[in-house]
Amino acid sequence: MVSFDKNIINFGRMRQLLFFISKSFFLTLLKAGVIGVGLVFLLFLVLHFHTRQNGLIEVPDLYQIPLAEAEDLLSDLRLNFEVIDSTQFNPEIAPLSVIEHQPRAHDEVKRGRKIYLTLNPSTYRKVSVPNVVQVTYRNAVSSLRAVGLEVGNISYRNNIGKDMVLALRFEDNEIDPGAKIPKSSKVDLVLGNGRRAR
């Protein structure tokens, strides 16, 4: 009886192995493959329409275009935008014109995409005038240039300190150290001429 049970078990295993090389197994495998490929194709088709890959828009070149015109152009293309402030004033480009944008010109984006615009400020940013009073002319020039200011007119006053800065002037007004003026402005210096005041 024990040998009979072994034969039944061996025959059952043999039938299982024969199933893997049978015609019905290959037909079932073929059906599963066709259904799998069909589902993957259907998934890609749905994703293509869902993400609107066929509705791409080319980003226009907005460089040096005033903000109002850029806004109209982007609205016509149904693109959104956000303005990013810039601290780098470029005097060669009109104030409040686009100096950079992301995505860049000629990139393809979807309708409704946000374009980030960097604008040229209306003027240079303001910087603090360094304290160069009672400093030599050479050191004053270095300190002023270090913060982005230029030296304007130089005038002299009777003072024992030759080439010592006595006062600062901006737009014909005397200014104190720490005053805020636009970067790249010219600061006039009043220097001592080395003679005693009478």
**Mean pLDDT throughout 31-43?**
94
3-state secondary structure at position 97: strand
CATH number for the segment(s) 56-119: 3.30.10.20
**Mean pLDDT throughout 10-37?**
81
Q: How confident is the model at residue 125 (pLDDT cuts 50, 70, 90)?
A: confident
* Matching fold, domains 56-119 and 126-192: yes
Q: How far is CA 147 from CA 94, 176, 179, in A?
A: 24, 16, 13
Domain boundaries, the chain: 2-50, 56-119, 126-192
In this predicted model, what pLDDT tens digit does every residue of 155-195 receive, in sequence order?
Answer: 999 999 899 999 999 999 999 999 999 988 999 999 999 88
Q: What is the CATH architecture assignment of 126-192?
A: 2-Layer Sandwich (3.30)
**pTM for the complete prediction?**
0.54
**Mean pLDDT throughout 85-112?**
88
Ramachandran sector of residue 171 (left: φ over 0; alpha: ψ -120 to 50; beta: rest): left
In this predicted model, what pLDDT tens digit does every residue of 138-158 receive, in sequence order?
Answer: 999 999 999 999 999 999 999
